[in-house]
Structure 1
Amino acid sequence: MLAAAAVLASPAAYAGRQASPAAEKPAFTAVNYAVAVDESASLADEDMAAEKAAAKRIALGDVSAASRVTVFGFAAAEAQGQSAVDPVCPRTTLDAAGRRTIGDCVGKLRKRTEKEGTGTDFPSAIRQGVHELSTGTDPSVPRVLFLLTDGVMDVSGSPKYGDPSHRAKEGERQLAAELENAAANNVQIWPLGFGPKPDRAQLDAIAAGGYQKGCVDLPSARPAADVVEGAKDLGPKLEKVFAAAHCLRYQPGPEGERPPATLEIAISPLATVGSIVVDKGDAEVDITYTDPAGNEVPTTGRARGSVFELAGADDTVEALRITDPLPGVWKIKAEAPEGHRSLPVGVSVLWQGELRGAITMDPPSPQAGQKATVTMRLQTRDNYAVKDPRDYAGLRVTSSLTGDGFAPVPLTLADDGKGPDPDAGDGAFTGTVQIPGDAAGALEVTGTLTASGLSADTRSEPGRVAPPQLPVTAALTLDDADVHPGARVTGSLAVSNTDDRPHTLRLSLADVRAGQLTLSPGEIVVAPGESGTRKVTVQVGAAGVFGDRLGGDGLLVGGTVTVVDTGSEDGDLTLVSSPVSVRVTPEPGLWEKYWWGFLTGAALAAAAAVAVVLLLGQRRRRRDPAGLVLRLVSESGDVVAEHRAGHGHKQWYEFAVVEPHRNPRIERRSNGPYAVQRSPEGGAVLRRRGGGRTRLTEQGQIQLADNLSLTLAGPVPGARTGGRTTTASPNPDSGAAGSGGSYDAYL
């Protein structure tokens, strides 16, 4: 029964993902960037390998096919014919073709020998980067220079910086000049040092000397220096720095594992495009990708509403770019042949996304001087609520109230669980504002969401200053619900009309994707003098409306219920603007629906099985011949032998009568002519070979061959089990013949 339940409860086969219902496609911000890689002789071999891998990780992980990258190495020119800069990757657009070639050119980076110039010429590196980024490029596209180095500026061996005694000072002067040039050409500089030698103060000054305006007006997008201790941390750190400079979101994966291994990493529901970046360490490692619905995805083309493009499959670093990725936990399986499993495989995700808001004011039509509560709820572009605060970390929310007759009033909205905000970290930012006493006419509350890696979103909610007395009032009660597709959520609308004429209230549901939630009724007519409640219903859409995203713990679908009095003297007046939240979970399978029935059935089946076992055991014990005392009785009625039976075979104790004429006795014999077992009704049953079965009662006897009969007697005191034969002398005075003795003790 349990096995059948498991089969019936198994999930249905995957039906395929519906295309995203987003009305518009997001624009992915492009960036022009250059990567300057330190090639000085102080580098260890593993440092150079880490620099190459880091450069590949950010180039392949870029989510925009319009971004362009330049990669070059640098050290110092310390003799005639030497150059401080080694160009390896010319300006490359990171479309499909560019992503296929970028790994090969990055591989040309090398550690310089002592004869090639081994210093660290920062001014030349910055000059080269600014030239590459500002020549023939669109000034409206952000320009970013990443500077990777394991040391401090060292131009002591470079003749172009003048006399040896003045080279350090000249180097500082030229560095300052190049930083001014970078700022003038809108080039940001993000230095990243590694190892024990970098001068953090010098790197901070380099970051502060370039262009300071980032891709978004947030502190996280302002150029900054960073330092890591070991080469193994260089790739992840550069990805994080790259994400900050490029306004991407960065999601690190678990600690790397050697193949064969399966790594898991989550992609946010806010992501509209993302790159899963895999640092394989060895080009022979083979990677497969499985989406949260359990489907192994292709590495190129379209599948289930997403677009895939893989680059670097034959290199040590590869990246799968996904447009409209399915949110949730992705599995990255790494396999490798023998001899190529020594290096750990790491995974990370770079992504951009869209964040939307839904703003409400309560009351929606406040009176002058009254306090109103303003709430801005975060949503994905598909209008689902945002559940994980990490998805919008670093978010800035600004809000203001404007209207007729007063200057704009700034609002502070917070999601900290304090004051008017009921719950911290729930994606709803709340604050209060007092309507100016001289306010009259129209009102509008506006909120703007700004976060790095997420497109900014501005929402506004119009309102109107209400008169001191409202002839019609309404209050909605619609609790948050946890339901399945196709279900209904009911609530009540309390209405009151003190006017002498009827009023028509219009009900609507906003901030929700079409088909997900439907509100009814659409209109309510409130009669003059009426005061009471009306039923309202929210219908949840069918499962197909939600597609593959309806899985796991479900989706939190939010909306805003608005009730407008269309009969107000001054035009439409909003009486209610209330958020509604419905958690939609998948329809349960047979097991989830009827688990109690399956468990009850299993318990009954187990109880029945135990009962059968007990009954069989009891039956076996009641038939067990062990302890039966068998007596041979002569024709004259004398007891000539006694024998105590053992357990027997299948509850039958087999025996034979030996020397019937000289010294008659019973001996145990396999396949003997006679066999005996207990009878559940008392006494025993004798089985003869070829002669059927005969009931032997406690007081009766059965005629055997050679004028001998078989009777039963009580147990022999102190006798042992096991079928050992015991012979007793006739004793007429004992009363044993024909008596059942204490046989009842065996029943």
Structure 2
Amino acid sequence: MGTLWQQRRTRRGRAYRGTLAALGCAALLGSAAAPAASARVPGRAAAEPAFPAVNYAVAVDESESLAPEDMKAEKAAAARIALGDVSASSTVSVFGFAAAERAGQRAVDPVCPRTTLDAAGREAVGGCVEKLRSRKKDEGTGTDFPTAIRQGVHDLTAGTDATAPRVLFLLTDGKMDVSGSDKYGDPAHRAAEGERQLTLALREAAAARVQIWPLGFGDAPDKKQLDRMAAGGYQRGCVALPSARPRAEKVSGAGDVGPTLERVFAAAHCLRYQSGPTAQRPPATLEVEISPLATVGSIVVDKGDPAVRISYLDPSGHQVPTSGAYQKSTFELAGAGGVVEALKIVDPVPGRWKIRAEADEDHRALPVGVSVLWQGELRGAITMNPPSPRPGEKTTVTMRLQTREGYEIRDPADYAGLAVAGRLSGAGFAPLAVGLSDSGTGADAAEGDGSFTGTVRIPSSATGALTASATLTAAGLRADTRSETGTVATAAADVVAGLTLRDAEAHPGAGITGTLALHNTDDAPHTLRLSADDVQAGLLTVSPGEVKLKPGESVSVGVTVRVAEKALFGDRLTDEGLRLGSTVTVTDTTDGNRALVRSPLSVRVTPEPTFLERNWWALAGGALLLVALAVTVVLVIRQRRVRVRPSGLVLRLVSGDGEQLAEHRVGLVRTPWYGFGLTETHRSPRIEKRANGPYAVQRSPEGGAVLRTRGGGRTKVPAQGRAVLTDELYLALGDEPRRPGRRSAGWWPWSRPAPNRRPAPAPADAAPRKEYEVWE
């Protein structure tokens, strides 16, 4: 249905644009900047989502081998993950490390003490990471991994909640080097002692439940050693998925440090990470997509230069504030004065956001990069069909993915890495696993449509109630378990029901109609209840809500599912539309609330079309009619102008007694009037052509000609009559002989000259043909 809807939208869009082109008009729409605050609108879950906290530390290599651009990349990377965190309860500490190689030196340089990442803490961390530096030769330039790990374990365990994840990110451009550190004993044994201390430090980290996520960059890091550190710490991630298990990463250059660490941070923190487009120099507009599953997110901008100015536009094109509330979202900006800034958004509007980067001419040398970190909530709607199967019969279990408001999820990228576990339990048998997949095979209708389906056979020993359940688990998405209760049918139901209701597209306030066929086989009346489940209250309503059946009655009832009015959807309803997923349930309240029908329903809600969209065909027809009329008028005027051209007229100058004094023939002219004057009027009067003469003549559409006299108006010159020029001279028209086969000049096809054709040969005894001069 989505494909059909897109085709319809495409055809309507083309016709709409064609109408505007025919009318020759365009609309310019503008929107004012968004206010700093606005009341919340309906259509959103009332409960404020909770964002799990993570305690993490960032250890940054400060060894001498670091190039200036490497240190700059490490600073920006540390700021990106600190500012990008979405939980105000998370804590972070940042420290640099190298090695202590003589008295008075230290292996660790604390730069950011443990800080809670509320609004003030995020701002503070964005500034303190600038204290990181590359060490000089006399400050200790080795690489002491054991000490760095122990510092991280200390920061993460002292006074923190053991139930919150503890994560150490270790950034380095080299491998362990403690050859110059006296603390590791005799120089000949320092390498071995370093390895032993690293093993112990990793054991301490695992015991303290500290995960280690190493990131190496450049050519020097030993990937094998990085893998060893990742595997040596605590292995259980924020969720029981492989993507959340600690692992080492290695990148080739400083430019990849920030994006890679951000991706690693997302995996460790159970966040979803979306990279933006290729970095661009300002002025530029970069776009990022925010999933409809997101309940909180951070748009992280690496500006390259602190002087770059950033503004944020939501999918509707409104510039959002950087603090406070707007519409149904709240905003909090941190790091605005630094190289990296991040806008945290609670309840972000899903869709394509635009990040506009502007800078003065002397601050446009460095590219601007954008990414998004977010957490979300994924819910499911589960159905079992039939809801009351018999022992030995198969039942189909379907879990449809939804947002917490009941909107369907159809983009596989939104639930990548999702694990779905199904289970059937009930009296008389041990629980059974139900394999649910979105592969488009077996009972699953289509691949990648967000519906996970599987079948299971009801054990013959089953009695009483049945429960089909499914659990959704994905990194960055809160786990959700849904269950559907049915009953083992030991006897036929008293009421047989069949619901015909198809997926549809509708506008706000519109209704979707179907038919409910009912047959009461009982000798007692039954009351049935109809409802739209698995969707936010009010978005879809079913009528009638109740049906009463008399004993033995068979009836067909019209059912209408009505879509909520536009106001309830708020700004979620865009030109792309929304897809609501619901389950229409028919329950027999007389028979212990037995579910007779549970029918999935998908409704694509699209905005009410505008006046132009509704009437494009009439407007297009009217525009074409106007164009046709205009063309006709132009052609008529042109034809009239052609018809009155005086080309070929024979003008005769006659005296008062009718004597012809002179004759003048008008040549081919393109103007409707032919100007002329009189010369030698007293001796030998003649007519001569004068563009601005005192007289002008043109043909008359009724025949003859029209004479225009300067200051004297216009006079009709009949074909057999004459008109006054002076007291003694008159104008008359002579004959216009035409060549056979020629027609009068004109634009219309029937007035165009016929093609020249050689006349048929005359008989030998025929009289000679007369040739005439042709005038048009």
Structure 1 distance, partners of 2:489, 2:62, is 71
Q: Is 2:159 the partner of 1:163?
A: no
Specify whether residues 657 and 518 from structure 1 end up closer, same or farther in structure 2 by C-alpha distance, changes over 3 A only. Answer: same
RMSD (Å), alpha carbons: 2.4
Kindly state the Cα deviation for residue 253 of structure 1 after the two structures are TM-superposed. 1.0
- Secondary structure in 1 aligned to 2:362? coil
Question: Aligned partner of 1:591: which letter?
Answer: L
**Aligned CA distance change for structure 1 residues 646 and 667 (closer, same or farther; 3 Å):** farther
8 Å Cα contact 1:2/1:602 also seen in 2: no
Give yes or no for the alignment of 1:340 onto 2:363. yes
Offset, 1:261 = 1.1
Q: Give 1:269 deviation, angstroms.
A: 1.3
Deviations 1:254-291 (A, max 9, x none): 11111111111111111111111111101111111111
What CA distance in whole angstroms lies between the structure 2 residues aligned with 1:63 and 1:549?
22
Answer yes or no: is 1:594 the counterpart of 2:604.
no
Give the letter aligned to residue 551 of structure 1.
T
- Tell me the equivalent position of 2:46: 23
Which TM-score applies when normalising by structure 1? Answer: 0.92
Bigger shift: residues 502-511 or 661-670 = 661-670
Q: 1:135 to 1:16 in 2, by over 3 A?
A: closer
Residue 730 of structure 1 corresponds to which residue in structure 2? none
Q: How many angstroms apart in 2 are the aligned matches of 1:581 and 1:648?
A: 70
Alignment of 1:164-243 (within 5 A): 164-243=187-266
Task: Kindly state the Cα deviation for residue 336 of structure 1 after the two structures are TM-superposed.
Answer: 0.4
Question: Are residue 621 (structure 1) and residue 615 (structure 2) matched?
Answer: no
Q: Which digits, 9 at most, give the CA deviation of each residue in 1:31-70, with x for residues without a partner?
A: 1100111111222211111111111111001001111111
Is residue 479 from structure 1 mapped to residue 502 from structure 2 by the alignment?
yes
For 1:396-416, what per-residue CA distance to the aligned partner results, in whole angstroms no more than 9, with x for missing partners?
A: 111101100100001111111
Deviation at 1:697, TM superposition (A): 3.0
* Displacement after TM superposition at 1:98 (Å): 0.9
> Which runs of structure 2 are paired with 1:242-391 in the superposition (5 Å)?
242-391=265-414
Q: 2:325 corresponds to which letter in structure 1? A: R
Which letter maps to 1:566? T
> AA paired with 2:477?
L
Matches within 5 A, 1:82-101: 82-101=105-124
- Name the CA distance, whole Å, in 1 between partners of 2:584 and 2:357: 49
What displacement does 1:16 show?
7.8
Supply the AA of the counterpart residue of 1:352.
Q
Per the alignment, residue 425 of structure 2 pairs with: 402
Give the superposition deviation at 1:713: 4.1
Q: 8 Å contact 1:8–1:591 — kept in the other structure?
A: no
What is the rounded CA distance, in whole Å, between the counterparts of 1:687 and 1:476 in structure 2? 86
1:18–1:305 Cα contact (<8 Å) kept = yes
Which position in structure 2 is the counterpart of 1:687?
A: 708
Distance in 1 separating the partners of 2:380 and 2:316: 28
| Secondary structure of the corresponding residue to residue 188 of structure 2 | helix
Alignment-derived partner of residue 653 in structure 2: 632
Question: CA–CA distance in 1 between the matches of 2:153 and 2:489?
Answer: 59
Aligned to 1:148: 171
Distance in 1, Cα, partners of 2:161 & 2:349: 33
* Unaligned runs of at least 5 residues, structure 2: 1-18, 740-744, 746-771
Give 2:201's aligned amino acid: E
Q: Partners in 2 of 1:20 and 1:69 — Cα distance?
A: 35
Which residue, 146, 152, 159 being the options, matches 1:136? 159
Q: Note the 1:70-85 alignment, pairs <5 A.
A: 70-85=93-108
Secondary structure of the corresponding residue to residue 103 of structure 2: coil
The one of 696, 711, 720 aligned to 2:717? 696
Conserved 8 A contact 1:301-1:309:
yes
Q: CA deviation at 1:587?
A: 1.0
Q: Which amino acid is the alignment partner of residue 228 of structure 1?
A: V
Change (3 A) 1:528 1:567: same
Farther off after superposition, 519-528 or 299-308: 519-528
> Measured at CA, do residues 516 and 601 of structure 1 come closer, stay the same or move farther in structure 2, by a change above 3 Å?
same
Change (3 A) 1:512 1:429: same
The answer to whether 1:554 aligns with 2:577 is: yes
Q: Summarize the alignment of residues 106-121 of structure 1 with structure 2, pairs less than 5 Å apart.
A: 106-121=129-144
Q: Is 1:351–1:453's contact at 8 Å kept on the other side of the alignment?
A: yes
- Listed one character per residue, the Cα deviations across residues 83-123 of structure 1 (whole Å, up to 9, x for unaligned) are 22111111111111111111221001111222222222211
- More deviation in 706-715 or 548-557? 706-715
* 2:82 is the counterpart of 1:64: no
Counterpart code for 1:82: Q
Matched position secondary structure for 2:338: coil
Give the aligned partner of residue 726 of structure 1.
none
Contact 2:737/2:773, CA 8 A, preserved across alignment: no
Distance 2:96 2:317 in 1: 42
Give the partner amino acid of 1:100: E
> Structure 1 residues 742 and 690 mapped into 2: Cα distance closer, same or farther (>3 Å)?
farther
Structure 1 unmatched runs, 5+: 722-740
User: Aligned partner of 1:686: which letter?
Assistant: L
**Count of residues paired in the alignment:** 721
Q: Please give the alpha-carbon distance, in whole angstroms, between the structure 1 residues aligned to 2:277 and 2:359.
A: 19
Per-residue CA deviation, residues 629-659 of structure 1 (Å, 9 max, x unaligned), is: 433345663452424245366x222211122
TM-superposed CA distance for 1:625, in Å, is 2.6
The code of the aligned residue for 2:697 comes to V
Tell me the residue number matched to 1:731. Answer: none
What's 2:16 paired with?
none
1:644 corresponds, among 642, 666, 669, to 666
- Correspondence 1:389-428 to 2 at 5 A: 389-428=412-451
Partners of 1:233 and 1:616 in 2: CA distance: 72
Which amino acid counterpart does residue 669 of structure 1 have in structure 2?
A: R
Alignment of 1:424-573 (within 5 A): 424-568=447-591, 571-573=592-594
Quote how far apart the aligned CAs of 1:169 are.
Answer: 1.8
Letter in 2 for 1:73: G
SS in 2 for 1:351: strand
SS at match of 2:698: strand
AA aligned to 1:664 is P
Q: Given the superposition, is the C-alpha separation of residues 146 and 714 from structure 1 closer, same or farther in structure 2, using an over 3 Å criterion? A: farther
Checking the alignment, whether the CA contact within 8 Å between 1:277 and 1:319 is kept in structure 2 is yes
Which letter does structure 2 place at the counterpart of 1:126? I
Q: In the alignment, which residue of structure 1 is the partner of 2:10? A: none
CA-to-aligned-CA distance 1:454-502 (integer Å, 9 cap, x gap): 1111111111101243332112111011000110111011222333333
Letter in 1 for 2:513: T
Residue type at the aligned position of 2:198: L
Deviation of the 1:716 alpha carbon: 9.2
2:734 and 2:232 map into 1 onto residues whose CA distance is 114
1:729 aligned residue: none
Contact 1:9–1:591 at 8 Å: present in 2 too? no
**How far, CA to CA, are the matches of 1:714 and 1:43 in structure 2?**
106
Give the drift of 1:160.
2.2
Q: Deviations over 1:656-690 (max 9, x none)?
A: 11223444333332431101112122232111112
Q: Give the match's secondary structure for 2:463.
A: coil
- Bigger mean CA deviation after superposition, 17-26 or 244-253: 17-26
- Alpha carbons 2:90, 2:116 under 8 Å: kept: yes
* Structure 2 SS opposite 1:449: strand
Asked whether the 8 Å contact 2:214–2:249 carries over to 1, the reply is: yes
State whether residues 644 and 715 of structure 1, in contact with CA within 8 Å, keep that contact through their aligned partners in structure 2. no
CA distance in 2: counterparts of 1:210 and 1:626, whole angstroms: 104
Deviation at 1:18, TM superposition (A): 1.1
After TM superposition, the structure 1 stretch with the greater mean CA deviation from structure 2, 701-710 or 337-346, is 701-710
SS at the partner of 1:201? Answer: helix
